[in-house]
Amino acid sequence: MKYKTKEDWDSILEEFKDYKGTVKEFCKLKKISSSCLYKNKKVINTDNKIEPEISFTKIDLKEEKQNKENKLEKLDTDERQSSRLYTIKIKIGKARIILDSSDKNAISHIVKELSLIC
């Protein structure tokens, strides 16, 4: 039997979706070739395919750059604030040194001086 109309193929493909056997068995039952089945399945799926709606959103690159800089600045501020929570205390004999952990230059200098003395 030849199926010429789209409606005929819609019906055949709907039956094929629910068919539990093999493609070969289905095609033999419907008296069609498997290549014909696949070809019409592809054509019908292409016809029924809904094209996605394309839209564009304008992005102000200057604003994006400013937002990125603000985020980096906030991270830097947060990092400095969290490092201020810690102090470094060094006690050698009667000498006491208390440093803010965010003061990297002072820490580096003191460690170098102590390494020279010890």
pLDDT above 90 for 40: no
For the entire predicted model, the pTM comes to: 0.38
Neighbouring C-beta atoms of residue 105, cutoff 10 Å: 7
Q: How many distinct structural domains can be found in the chain? A: 2
- Work out the percent of the chain whose per-residue pLDDT is above 90: 8
55 falls within a domain:
no
Q: Are 88 and 80 in contact (CB under 8 A)?
A: no
For residue range 3-22, what is the model confidence (pLDDT) as tens digits? 568 888 888 888 998 899 89
In a domain, 102, yes or no: yes
Q: Would you say residue 28 lies in a domain?
A: yes
Q: Is residue 11 part of a domain?
A: yes
Answer whether residue 19 is part of any domain: yes
* Nearest in space to 101 (alpha carbons), one of 78, 118, 84: 84
Question: Residue 13 domain-assigned?
Answer: yes
Question: How many H helices and E strands in the chain?
Answer: 5, 2
Q: How far is CA 113 from CA 60, 63, 109, 118, in A?
A: 51, 47, 6, 9
Alpha-carbon torsion 32, 33, 38, 39, what sign? negative
Structural domain includes residue 60:
no
Could you list the residue range(s) of the whole structural domain that residue 117 is in?
80-118
If DSSP codes are grouped into helix, strand and coil, which group holds residue 97? strand
- Please list, in sequence order, all residues whose beta carbon lies within 8 angstroms of the beta carbon of residue 38, skipping any fewer than 6 positions away: none
pLDDT on residue 25:
93
Confidence class for position 24, pLDDT limits 50, 70, 90: very high
